[in-house]
Amino acid sequence: MSAKEFFTSNKKRTGLIICAIIIISGIIPLIIFTYFADPAHPYTITETTLTADDYTKIQAHIYTPKNMSGNHPGIVMAHGFCGNSINQQLLAIELVKREFVVISINFRGHGSSGGWLPSFTDPNMVNVIEQDVVAAIRHLQSMGNINKIGLIGHSMGAMTSLKTADDYTNVVNATAVLGMTVGFEGELRDLFQGNLNFTLDYNLTRVRNLLICNSHLEQMFTADMTLDFLKLYTNRTDVELETPYGNFTNGTRAKAVLGMTEHLFEPMDPHIINETVAWFELAFYGVIRWDITLTSTFNTISFAITLIGIIAICFVTILYLHNYLWKDQKINLRKGMVPDTSLTKLIIYYVMASFFGTVFLLPGIFLFPEVTPISMGELLYAIPVGNAIGIIIMYYFIIRKTEKLGFRNIPTKIKAMCSGNYGRSILYGIVAAVLFAMAIASVAHWSTIITFPTAREVGAIFGMALLFFPWLLIKEFYFRTVQGQLNFSNRFKEYFTMVGIGFLMDAALFTPMMLLSWGNGFLFGFVALALTVVIVFSLIQQIIVTWVYMYSGRSILGSTVFLCIFYPWMMINFFPFGFPLF
């Protein structure tokens, strides 16, 4: 058999081979740039557990140079809300390559750390989570040869680092804040409490040697706001971006820089990484001891290649699973489930349902304060609930007009979309969800974001899957009704068309809101940031779930079970265990 015949005789096998090649081409350099980024200055990455003053267990990653002779500077890294100890790893690696000891913490409620994140409306929130940063500082001090200490914080971690730098001014020699301007935490908290006269939670005059890093595409903090922060710190009005002021000796050095990314990716921005590394070199050594050669970009590219290969191999595996469970069985394609209704009308009706879901957010905050165990879980639960109610109302108008049916007929319509072998559909959904989650986690967990669930996270995922099931079932019912209106004999054309339509339906309302809110101050910028996450999640969901549905025997039961596991898994990965807003 020739090579051409080998690859064309079995397309699924060929797909597996191609995916394996992609994964290998990505994962080998990813391992190198994560664990062996600079052979001349080797290091280790280990995990440890710290204990905060209130006895909360704080999990952390420690990046330690193998050459630990003599004194070394130490740096504590504090992530943002929904972040973790790994998502600033690119910056941590660049620092440990220069023989800094770096400890990156998981705030309480995040990752494998214990405890619960306080509500953003809690006036003591920053004081509470400051204990986690202080626990890391004490760990560095206990090592015996850490002579200087710096802090790096992103977003929520930035406001906490400023508070810590103020409270421990004789300990913290330099601080870098990413994704923040002055007063952010005060305005956000006081806004939730209805108080517009906010006060700072720290004294800037006690913060030594401050580097301020934001981005040109930052949702919340504009270039002008960044300059205002610099003016306040330096007590000057003639400051400019990318220009240093003051001096390190007396602790007044300050600089503000802008990267080229948006808020969530600022810890990965090459310009911000370069400026931060240079900042601590100058703060602790007075000079940049050798050229800064970043490997972080290669790390990012390698991860992207690996992730593409991992997701692609899951797609191919789904085909094998489909063939095993539904071999020789006739598949109902669910075509024309709503007669005499155009695709455009169905899309418009869904956008109207989404509007209802958005309006439902406000009562949802008070109706579901403790339904889920995660921070802001009441909002994340209110969205699908409101969306499902809106769908039921809109679908009623559709079938009343086209088929003279009422509300009592909707359950029958939903049941018809679930028909088939219920047991196989449920098994298929569970296996597909676990496959995708574990495959992604196998790469992301040690390189980009902590994704393997802990015991309490597994319990939360199971409970949330049951809570979300009825609402996600209604959404899947509507989306696959729309898909049934497509007239394609080619599955790939149907797939890509439905992914596009599904994303349009999910993003049609949120995208204009995001763009109008972007860069318009704290409140609107926070909305834009939240909507950015929602839109990205929506795209990921449409890419994967549409494929899962098409090879689930065309039963919405299988794709809904998949969603009910995958959706909470993604939520648990990003949102910490925490208290509701109110």
pLDDT value for 201: 64
The answer, yes or no, to whether residue 234 has pLDDT greater than 90, is yes
Strand partners, 105: 60, 78
Model confidence at 402, pLDDT cuts 50, 70, 90, reads confident
pLDDT value for 300: 95
The answer, yes or no, to whether residue 42 has pLDDT greater than 90, is yes
pLDDT value for 85: 92
Q: Give per-residue pLDDT as tens, 95-147.
A: 999 999 999 999 999 988 999 999 887 888 899 999 999 999 999 999 999 99
550 burial type by CB count under 10 A (0-12 exposed, 13-18 middle, 19+ buried): buried
Q: Give per-residue pLDDT as tens, 48-91.
A: 999 999 999 999 999 999 999 999 999 999 999 989 999 899 99
Report d(CA 163, CA 206) in Å as an integer: 10
pLDDT value for 475: 95
**Segment 421-441 mean pLDDT:** 92
pLDDT value for 231: 94
CA-closest candidate to residue 178, choices 310, 272, 243, 250: 272
103: Cβ contacts below 8 Å, ≥ 6 apart: 60, 61, 62, 63, 74, 75, 76, 77, 136, 139, 140
Q: Quickly count: other Cβ atoms within 10 Å of residue 188's Cβ.
A: 20
The answer, yes or no, to whether residue 199 has pLDDT greater than 80, is no
Q: Give per-residue pLDDT as tens, 310-343.
A: 999 999 999 999 888 887 777 776 777 787 788 8
363: Cβ contacts below 8 Å, ≥ 6 apart: 382
User: CA torsion sign, 525 to 464 to 439 to 544?
Assistant: negative
For the chain, give the mean pLDDT: 90
Model confidence at 2, pLDDT cuts 50, 70, 90, reads low
Report d(CA 179, CA 68) in Å as an integer: 32
Strand 210-215's sheet: what is its strand order? 43-51, 57-65, 101-105, 72-78, 146-154, 172-178, 210-215, 254-259
pLDDT value for 198: 46
Burial 479-512 (b: 16+ CB within 10 A, else e): bbbbbbbeeeeeeeebbebbbebbbebbbebbbe
DSSP 174-201: EEEEES--TTHHHHHHHHHHT------S
Collect contacts of 198-207 with beta carbons under 8 A, ≥24 apart: 201/126, 201/159, 201/162, 201/163, 202/162, 202/163, 202/165, 202/166, 202/167, 203/166, 204/162, 204/166, 204/232, 204/233, 206/165, 206/166, 206/169, 207/162, 207/165, 207/166, 207/169, 207/172, 207/175, 207/233
Q: Give per-residue pLDDT as tens, 511-536.
A: 999 999 998 877 788 888 888 988 99
Residue 198 in tokens: 């906010």
Helical packing angle, 270-285 and 89-96, nearest 10°: 40
Q: Give per-residue pLDDT as tens, 340-387.
A: 788 899 999 999 999 888 888 888 878 888 888 998 888 889 989 999
CATH class, 37-298 region = alpha beta
User: Within 168-295, where are the H helices?
Assistant: 184-193, 223-234, 270-285
Name the percent of the chain lying above pLDDT 90.
65
The answer, yes or no, to whether residue 5 has pLDDT greater than 90, is no
Model confidence at 259, pLDDT cuts 50, 70, 90, reads very high
Report d(CA 20, CA 14) in Å as an integer: 10
Model confidence at 194, pLDDT cuts 50, 70, 90, reads very low
Q: Name the residue with higher pLDDT: 430 or 423.
A: 430
pLDDT value for 123: 82
The answer, yes or no, to whether residue 6 has pLDDT greater than 60, is no
- Tell me how long the chain is: 582
The answer, yes or no, to whether residue 417 has pLDDT greater than 80, is yes
**Segment 490-499 mean pLDDT:** 93
277: Cβ contacts below 8 Å, ≥ 6 apart: 91, 94, 95, 98, 292
Model confidence pTM above 0.75: yes
3-class SS at 43? Answer: strand
pLDDT value for 480: 93
